[in-house]
Each structure stands twice: as C-alpha cells, then as structure tokens.
C-alpha cells in the first residue's frame, strides 16, 4: 500500500441490521481487511454482530438512537429501514465526527461504505468530505431495476403494476424480466416502494457502488448500470467465496449435519426461505404433503415467526408432524453454507434471496425457486431463464405441484442438466475471485480508486 493510503487506511462500514445484509457487508469488511485496511463497523442497536473471535481485528461502534416499542412491533422491514434512517441521521454524523477527531495520523478514515438502505450515511460522509460508497447486497440487475423504476413516470408505473393483464408481459427495456418480476415488495404499498427506490438510487452524491456479484453472472446489467449511474461500479463477489465471515444472528442447529451424514448422496432437498419471508399455514401443509409424496428426504428450515401462531411448528395442525416425521428433518436455523456443501444435498428449495442464490450456485446446487418478495423475484427469473440452474414454482401452492417439482429437480434428467449448469457456474464464480479473475481485479480497482481519492 502506498504512503497516502497508509495514512488513510480505515474504512467505516454501516450495515443494515438484517441477516441478509449483515452477512455480505461483514464479508466485504474481511475482503478489505485483507487489503490492509482497518475496519470500523457502525451498528445500530438492533441485530448486532458480536465482536467475536471472527472479528477480533474489527472495531465496533454503536450509533445511538432507537425506535419506539410500538414502532418495533408494528413496522414491516421497509418502514423499519425508513424509520432507522430518520432516527440515525444526526447521531451517526456526531459519531463519525468524533471518530475523525480521535483518529491517529497513521489511521485516517479513507471512506464510508454503507448498505444501500442506510442512505443517511451519505450525508454524514459528505459533511466530512469523505468518499461515500454504496454497498448493494442485491444483484446488479435488481439495482438496475430500482434505478429504472425511479426514473419512469410514477403515475404510469403505479397504474401498470396494478394491471393484472400486464403482469406476464415483458417490462420494456429490462428483458427477460416481466412486470411481475420487478423488485416491488410484499412489505409495503407500491407508492412507498417507488419513493424508497428514488432515495436509494440517488447515488448522485455517492462516490462509487460496490455490488456483491460477478461479471460472469450479470455482464449486461453491469455494463448498463455503469452507464446509468455515471460513478464507478465495482462487482467484487461472490463475497462468501472471496472472504468468509461467519455472522449468523440466529443460533445454528448443527444436528442437521449429523442427519445429512446418514442420507444418500444428492438425495436431500434443502428448504429455506431466508431471514424475512413468511409462509401461510395452508401453504406449509401443501408443501408438507407434496414433500412426503415425493419420497425424497428433506431438510426444512422453519424459522420461528415465519409461520402463523405463537409457537413454532406446534402451532401447525397435527397432520404436519405426521407428514414430515418419516423423511424430513426440521430445524429453526441451519448452518446453510455447510448444508449446501454437504454431498447428501441434491437441491435447494429457496426464496431466492441474493445470498442464498450465490451460496447455492457457489456450491453447484440446482434450485426450486419460490420467491417471496422484492429482488428475490428478479433472482428467480434469472435462475430459471438466464442461468438455467433452477425453475420457478409459480402461483398457488398445491401438493401435486410440489411433488412434481421435487421429482423434477432430484430425480429427472432435467434436474441433472441444471446441476451440470450449476457446477459450470460454480467454477466460473470461483475463478472470478481468484487472482486475475474479474471480481479480484475489481477489488484491486476499488483500492486504487481510494488511493486516487486520497491523493
Ligand atoms: C434479504 C433479501 O432476500 C436478499 O435478496 C438481499 O440481498 C438481502 O436481504 P434474506 O431474505 O434473509 O435477505 O435472504 P438471503 O439473501 O438469502 O440471506 C439469508 C442468509 O441467511 C444467507 O446468507 C443464508 O446462508 C443464511 N441462512 C439462512 C442461514 O445461515 N441459515 C438458515 O437456516 C437460513
């Protein structure tokens, strides 16, 4: 590292306190640490990563500011993020100012890297004339969609999105995405999503964008995004391959690995809907019936709170435990990376969160795609029609469709083809983070970019 960067060698990270966002930003921290930077993580008081042995070299600070109990109880994830932006803006500015006052000569802050949903960080970085860098935890195509949506005529967009006849048609300029694949959210009305996207993609004052993706997955969207945003875009993923950083917010139930050890190679369907998606009781039962009828073993993550009722699976009708007891193993939270790497796992039924998508392709595991909301719909469309490593299960869930889908993935030749495609992509992803690979070079370009900003 040259002398100027030796002085400016601390990077401030601002994660959104949600599992799917914390994990990749901590991995980013590890990747930047490996390039010689010190890392300060500014956390809110919610869903904090502990400064465990995995992060003993990182410096953790808290942004003061809290939401009311009523807010915490009633707000959905999107409103929570909006409120957090309001509550943290002034206090973050103060904390960052304090950090800058206390910084040593050889440990100056080089830039602030913030989760795209924590856009209050941008104002503070600007006030102190620090480069501010947006970190996108979604794919480049979803980022591109948000940028396109933020620019279209609002009234026409809102009307079109409510027009049922348009939903299966291609959205102009975003091939192969259909209207129904656009990253609108189940967590809020379309009007507020549109407003939020305008704030997120307001990168006019940001200095650069880092995206957890690789060129081999999204070269067209990346090239277009680069043109649209007019600031440098650095695709440096998949970060989970480039830099491991265990940051599970929930306790992992490792007993499922012992259960997997007893199953035949590539026979098990792993099912997980990530950290936010919800399931209705009737869909859970249809799934249980279909899984049972498929005769394949399955490992199913049912996160407490993801199904209705105050209890865990005890709240489900009695037939549920009978259906899953023979071939299924149910846990509240799994060590997902280890599960996907396990030789017994033959397929992944996923909500298609971007981390799960990268982790599944990164292990060469084909997918049944059942997106729940926002960017997951974009990922599912790409998994099916661009990368051919999975297929979507759309519409109402019924047990016959579930049974057919499980067999299609784990038993039929078509599933074997998707597995081959996934293994090809896994190899490409691994090369992209190796020395000379596109993501590895992109990280070096980002370091050079900071060097230029510091000079
Ligand atoms: C959400 C969005 O879906 C995602 O697209 C966005 O980029 C971040 O926010 P989430 O819904 O939680 O995230 O899904 P996902 O992105 O897949 O992240 C879930 C993470 O939790 C993954 O890293 C996965 O490995 C981990 N996980 C999940 C576990 O460790 N154990 C589990 O049992 C389930």
- Burial zone of 257 (CB within 10 Å; 0-12 exposed, 13-18 middle, 19+ buried): middle
Substitution candidate for ligand 1 out of 18, 19, 22, 378 with most atoms within 8 A of CB: 19
**Segment 306-328 mean pLDDT:** 93
pTM: 0.96
Q: Are 207 and 131 in contact (CB under 8 A)?
A: yes
Average pLDDT of every residue of the chain: 93
DSSP sequence for 404-455: HHHHHHHTSHHHHHHHHHHHHHHHHHHHHHSTTSHHHHHHHHHHHHHHHHH-
Cα 275 to middle of ligand 1, angstroms: 6
Among protein residues, the one whose CA lies closest to atom 1 of ligand 1: 20
Among protein residues, the one whose CA lies closest to atom 28 of ligand 1: 274
pLDDT band at 132 (very low <50, low <70, confident <90, very high): very high
Among protein residues, the one whose CA lies closest to atom 27 of ligand 1: 336
Among protein residues, the one whose CA lies closest to atom 2 of ligand 1: 353
- Burial zone of 455 (CB within 10 Å; 0-12 exposed, 13-18 middle, 19+ buried): exposed
Cα 106 to middle of ligand 1, angstroms: 37
Ligand 1 residue neighbourhood (C-beta within 6 Å): 18-21, 23, 137-138, 248, 272, 274-277, 301, 333-334, 336-337, 353-356, 359, 375-376
Cα 19 to middle of ligand 1, angstroms: 6
Q: For the segment 74-119, what is each residue's pLDDT rounded down to a tens digit?
A: 888 888 888 999 999 999 999 999 999 999 888 899 999 999 999 9
Query: Where do runs of H (alpha helix) occur along 8-139?
Result: 19-33, 69-74, 77-102, 120-127
Cα 211 to middle of ligand 1, angstroms: 16
Cα 371 to middle of ligand 1, angstroms: 12
Cα 408 to middle of ligand 1, angstroms: 25
Q: How far is CA 394 from CA 84, 168, 181, 303, 384, in A?
A: 34, 12, 11, 22, 12
Q: For the segment 341-397, what is each residue's pLDDT rounded down to a tens digit?
A: 999 999 999 999 999 999 999 999 999 999 999 999 999 999 999 999 999 999 999
CA dist 396 and 421 (Å) reads 28
Which atom of ligand 1 is the closest one to the Cα of 301? Answer: 33
The residue with greater pLDDT, 194 or 435, is 435
- Burial zone of 226 (CB within 10 Å; 0-12 exposed, 13-18 middle, 19+ buried): middle
Among protein residues, the one whose CA lies closest to atom 3 of ligand 1: 353
């Amino acid at each position: 590292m040259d002398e100027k960067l030796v002085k400016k060698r601390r990077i401030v990270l601002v994660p959104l306190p949600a599992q799917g966002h914390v994990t990749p930003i901590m991995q980013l921290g590890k990747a930047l640490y490996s390039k010689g930077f010190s890392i300060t993580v500014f956390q809110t008081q919610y869903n904090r990563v502990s400064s465990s042995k995995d992060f003993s070299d990182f410096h953790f600070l808290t942004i003061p500011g809290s939401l009311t109990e009523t807010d915490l109880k009633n707000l959905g994830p999107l409103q929570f993020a909006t409120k957090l932006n309001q509550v943290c803006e002034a206090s973050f500015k103060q904390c960052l100012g304090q950090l800058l006052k206390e910084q040593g000569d050889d440990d100056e802050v080089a830039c602030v890297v913030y989760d795209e949903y924590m856009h209050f960080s941008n104002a503070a970085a600007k006030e102190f004339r620090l480069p501010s860098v947006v970190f996108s935890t979604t794919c480049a195509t979803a980022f591109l969609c948000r940028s396109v949506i933020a620019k279209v005529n609002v009234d026409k967009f809102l009307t079109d999105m409510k027009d049922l006849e348009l939903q299966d048609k291609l959205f102009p300029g975003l091939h192969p995405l259909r209207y129904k694949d656009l990253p609108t959210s189940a967590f809020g009305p379309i009007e507020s999503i549109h407003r939020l996207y305008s704030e997120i993609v307001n990168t006019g004052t940001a200095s650069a964008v880092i995206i957890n993706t690789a060129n081999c997955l999204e070269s067209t969207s990346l090239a277009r995004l680069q043109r649209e945003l007019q600031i440098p875009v650095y695709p440096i993923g998949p970060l989970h391959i480039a830099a491991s950083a265990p940051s599970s917010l929930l306790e992992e139930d490792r007993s499922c690995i012992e259960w997997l050890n007893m199953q035949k190679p590539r026979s098990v369907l792993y099912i997980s809907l990530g950290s936010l998606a919800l399931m209705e009781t009737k869909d859970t039962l249809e799934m249980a019936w279909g899984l049972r009828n498929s005769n394949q073993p399955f490992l199913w993550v049912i996160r407490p709170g993801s199904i209705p009722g105050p209890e865990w699976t005890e709240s489900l009708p009695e037939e549920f435990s009978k259906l899953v007891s023979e071939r299924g193993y149910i846990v509240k939270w799994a060590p997902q990376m280890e599960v996907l790497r396990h030789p017994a796992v033959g397929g992944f039924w996923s909500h298609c969160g971007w981390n799960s998508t990268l982790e599944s392709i990164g292990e060469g595991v084909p997918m049944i795609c059942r997106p729940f909301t926002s960017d997951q719909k974009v990922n599912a469309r790409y998994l099916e029609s661009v990368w051919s490593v999975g297929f979507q299960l759309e519409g109402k869930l019924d047990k016959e469709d579930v049974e057919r889908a499980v067999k299609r993935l784990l038993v039929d030749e078509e599933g074997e083809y998707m597995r081959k495609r996934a293994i090809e992509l896994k190899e490409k992803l691994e090369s992209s983070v190796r020395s000379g690979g596109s993501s590895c070079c992109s990280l070096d370009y980002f370091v050079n970019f900071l060097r230029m900003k510091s000079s």
